[in-house]
């Protein structure tokens, strides 16, 4: 069973990463609907603002408490996040609260003693996030069903919608386990997480490939190669899961090394791509915030891999 201190630290670290991811998922959905579906646009905007609130509350509780490794990993914000938000505001007119990013830049990690009041605040925050994420999953699932049944058009790929449902489901599962004070054995669950994130990295590469301008041949080929590489790593992780006994599910060391090296390379590709988009040097229909979004997810996965 988790100690009170670990419950608070793990919960806040999870929200600092995933609450921002959820608010950006909502934003990507919001700007992808057509004028006919303005009601869906409004609902997506409401989800975005709800997760803005969850992230803001998380930031207010995190200083001096959260694990420093989370803050140092680049999964909370990157050197590009503020500029990516500002550029995205300019292109879309959606008023993203950049003050949250500025506040996160000032956060410090630590191991402050957790008092009962903070524990209660975090527990209430977790429940708020559980409710919001559950509703967002239902919304995303409805959108995906509409798209697959050809009753709705959106500028988001159906696979991208499935992709962001999967991430919301992971967040929800981890939140529920934290609320139950369940101690998560990272070693035992490492293989499942490698399978999950290798698949996500493969899909990131494929999304990038499909959103680049057709003249960007070199970048398209690089993205395609990353997609193929992570498809292979995903298949290897799945094979290892199928072969593992229930009490020995740690990933083979060579698989983790390969995943780590591939993710470091993909992370650099994403960082250079985001920088190029912000400098107007890459031709694409990739909105700047999406570039930074997938970069943060690679940073998150790298922290997990280094823990394994």
Token pair 């959106």 in the structure block, residue: 154
| Same-domain check for residues 112 and 220 | no
| Same-domain check for residues 118 and 176 | yes
Mean pLDDT for the stretch of residues 181-189: 78
| Same-domain check for residues 49 and 77 | yes
Pair 273, 298: CB distance under 8 Å? no
pLDDT digits (tens, 9 = 90+) for 59-109: 999 999 999 999 999 999 999 999 999 999 999 999 999 999 999 999 999
| Same-domain check for residues 151 and 204 | no
Q: What pLDDT score was predicted for residue 253?
A: 79
Q: How far apart are the first and last CA of the chain?
A: 21
Judged against a pLDDT cut of 70, whether residue 308 lies above it is answered with yes
Return the SS3 of 111.
Answer: coil
- The band of 112, judged by pLDDT with boundaries at 50, 70 and 90, is low
Is residue 266 classed exposed, middle or buried when 0-12, 13-18 and 19+ CB atoms within 10 A define those classes? buried
Return the SS3 of 33.
Answer: strand
| Same-domain check for residues 18 and 164 | yes
Cα(204)–Cα(211) distance, integer angstroms: 11
| Same-domain check for residues 109 and 189 | no
- The band of 228, judged by pLDDT with boundaries at 50, 70 and 90, is very high
Q: At which of 160, 184, 208 does a domain end?
A: 184
| Same-domain check for residues 29 and 56 | yes
Return the SS3 of 53.
Answer: helix
Q: How many CA atoms lie within 13 A of 254 on its CB side?
A: 2
| Same-domain check for residues 160 and 224 | no
Which domain CATH number covers 244? Answer: 1.20.1260.120
Query: Phi and psi (nearest 5°) for 212?
Result: -75, 150
pTM above 0.85, yes or no: yes
Q: What pLDDT score was predicted for residue 66?
A: 94
| Same-domain check for residues 229 and 260 | yes
pLDDT digits (tens, 9 = 90+) for 186-220: 666 899 999 999 999 999 999 999 999 999 999 99
Number of residues in the chain: 308
- The band of 113, judged by pLDDT with boundaries at 50, 70 and 90, is confident
Q: What pLDDT score was predicted for residue 247?
A: 60
Mean pLDDT for the stretch of residues 270-292: 98
Domain range spanning residue 226? 185-308
Q: At which of 184, 202, 236 does a domain end?
A: 184
| Same-domain check for residues 190 and 170 | no
Q: At which of 148, 168, 184 does a domain end?
A: 184
Mean pLDDT for the stretch of residues 140-160: 98
Q: What pLDDT score was predicted for residue 184?
A: 73
Percent of the chain whose pLDDT exceeds 90: 90
How many structural domains is the chain composed of? Answer: 2
Judged against a pLDDT cut of 60, whether residue 233 lies above it is answered with yes
| Same-domain check for residues 239 and 302 | yes
Between 247 and 295, the higher pLDDT residue:
295
Judged against a pLDDT cut of 60, whether residue 168 lies above it is answered with yes
| Same-domain check for residues 123 and 15 | yes
Between 3 and 270, the higher pLDDT residue:
270
């Amino acid at each position: 069973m988790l100690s009170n201190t670990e419950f608070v630290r793990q919960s806040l670290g999870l929200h600092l990463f995933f609450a921002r991811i959820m608010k950006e998922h909502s934003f990507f959905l919001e700007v992808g609907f057509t004028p006919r579906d303005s009601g869906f646009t409004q609902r997506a905007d409401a989800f975005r603002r709800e997760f803005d609130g969850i992230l803001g509350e998380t930031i207010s509780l995190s200083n001096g408490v959260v694990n420093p490794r989370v803050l140092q990993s680049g999964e909370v914000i990157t050197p590009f996040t503020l500029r990516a938000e500002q550029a995205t505001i300019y292109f879309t007119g959606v008023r993203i609260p950049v003050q949250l990013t500025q506040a996160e830049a000032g956060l410090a990690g630590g191991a402050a003693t957790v008092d009962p009041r903070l524990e209660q605040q975090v527990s209430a925050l977790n429940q708020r996030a559980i409710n919001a994420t559950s509703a967002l999953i239902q919304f995303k699932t409805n959108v995906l069903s509409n798209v697959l049944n050809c009753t709705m058009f959106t500028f988001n790929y159906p696979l991208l919608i499935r992709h962001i449902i999967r991430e919301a489901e992971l967040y929800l599962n981890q939140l529920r386990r934290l609320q139950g004070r369940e101690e998560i054995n990272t070693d035992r669950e490492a293989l499942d997480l490698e399978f999950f994130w290798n698949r996500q990295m493969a899909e990131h590469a494929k999304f990038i490939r499909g959103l680049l301008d057709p003249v960007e041949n070199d970048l398209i080929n690089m993205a395609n190669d990353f997609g193929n590489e992570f498809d292979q790593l995903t298949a290897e992780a799945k094979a290892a899961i199928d072969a593992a006994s229930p009490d020995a599910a740690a990933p083979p060391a060579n698989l983790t090394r390969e995943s780590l090296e591939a993710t470091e390379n993909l992370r650099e590709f994403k960082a250079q791509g985001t920088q190029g988009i912000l400098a107007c040097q890459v031709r694409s229909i990739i909105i700047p915030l999406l570039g930074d979004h997938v970069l943060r997810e690679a940073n998150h996965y790298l922290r997990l891999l280094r823990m394994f």
